[in-house]
Amino acid sequence: MEPSDALHLPEVPFTYREGLASGLTPDQLKSSQQINVSHGIYRPDGWEFNLRDAARVLSAASPGAWISHSTAARLHGLILPPWLADSDELHLSKPRRLPQLRRKGIVSHNVTALSGEVEATDELKISTRSRTWLDLARILPLPDLICMGDQLIRIPRAEFEGRSEPYATLKSLNAMAGRHRNLQGIVRARDALVLMRVGADSAPETLLRLAISEAGLPEPELQLTLWGRKGGPSADAGYRARRIAMQYDGAHHLDELQQFSDRRRDKAFDNAGWAVLIFTQEDLADGFHSAVQRLRMALHQAWLDPKHASGFEG
């Protein structure tokens, strides 16, 4: 066979029909070069696992079903706890009226999904971000569910993210929860909705806020700006009346340009007479216990200082 006549073999998992469409014959699909991993699903020998490729072919081979749960969360880029963030489990959901799906290596679910809770892309059918959040309420601990929820309702920065609207709102998530009153995990979802807030840009920021509330301290304002208006220096959270700003500096703050921006931000708050509390991954690792103690001391000091009387506006 001349090189120009060689078959174009698939390089990613494919369905039986896709294999035939690519030029493979039924006999060639039985060769050692193609591995039959499940009914109607093949992969090239030597293929290295890729979650999106695996989800795509599973969706293509499962009419009426859609990718869901932690698989959907990973593909959507949603915040997951470490024990689930690297899971390669493949979750597939089908309507309750259809027979239970049985595929080797697949976690199947029969659920009730209403209009707008499943979306179709060029590659696959997948539960929406909001529905994925609701599905995971059954297994995620409350703090992790709140972190994911905060991610959905945060206001994006259009100049960096190419979108200006949040993925969801508290109103839309409450409405969805109201339509699934018997869903497993619905009580935890409702508890999360009470504690979710617009303004957290990362899971550590949410966990810091939750630790502050758990300690009985006043809930801080999120995305607090120095002068109370858009533009200019801003902090992740703080107390304007007490002139206390809080910032969580994660791994990306090790970048030299980011450090320069951070120093300029902190200096602006400091020059305006604010106390600036910087928290890092070390604080996250201890559950923000030390961070809460530092904040408690700062709030106490601000209370003792007459110029920080409640209602003072800088």
Q: 123-132: per-residue pLDDT in tens?
A: 899 999 999 9
Ranking 6-20, 54-68, 111-125, 215-229 by mean pLDDT, the lowest is 6-20
Rg, C-alpha atoms of the chain: 25
Q: Please identify which residue in the block is written with the tokens 């209370």.
A: 303
- Gap between the terminal Cα atoms of the chain: 80
Q: With 70 as the cut, is the pLDDT of residue 251 above it?
A: no
The pLDDT-based confidence of 261 (bands split at 50, 70, 90) is confident
For the structural domain made of 203-308, what CATH number should be given? Answer: 3.40.960.10
In angstroms, the Cα distances linking 310 to 2, 22, 303, 306 are 83, 71, 8, 9
The pLDDT-based confidence of 9 (bands split at 50, 70, 90) is low
Q: Is the Cα torsion angle 232, 238, 239, 244 positive or negative in sign?
A: negative
The pLDDT-based confidence of 8 (bands split at 50, 70, 90) is low
The pLDDT-based confidence of 250 (bands split at 50, 70, 90) is confident
The Cα–Cα gap between 158 and 156 comes to 6
Q: According to the model, what pLDDT value does residue 309 have?
A: 46
Instruction: Kindly report the pTM of this predicted structure.
Output: 0.89
Q: According to the model, what pLDDT value does residue 312 have?
A: 36
Q: According to the model, what pLDDT value does residue 3 have?
A: 35
Domain boundaries, the chain: 1-48, 50-195, 203-308
Q: According to the model, what pLDDT value does residue 6 have?
A: 44
Q: According to the model, what pLDDT value does residue 252 have?
A: 55
Q: State mean pLDDT over 81-86.
A: 94
Contact at 8 Å (CB) between 195 and 201? no
Name, in order, each residue with C-beta under 8 angstroms of 114's C-beta and a sequence gap of 6 or more.
179
Comparison of pLDDT for 26 and 32, the residue scoring more:
26
110-117, Cβ contacts within 8 angstroms, sequence gap of 24 or more: 111/68, 111/135, 111/183, 112/180, 112/183, 113/66, 114/179, 117/176
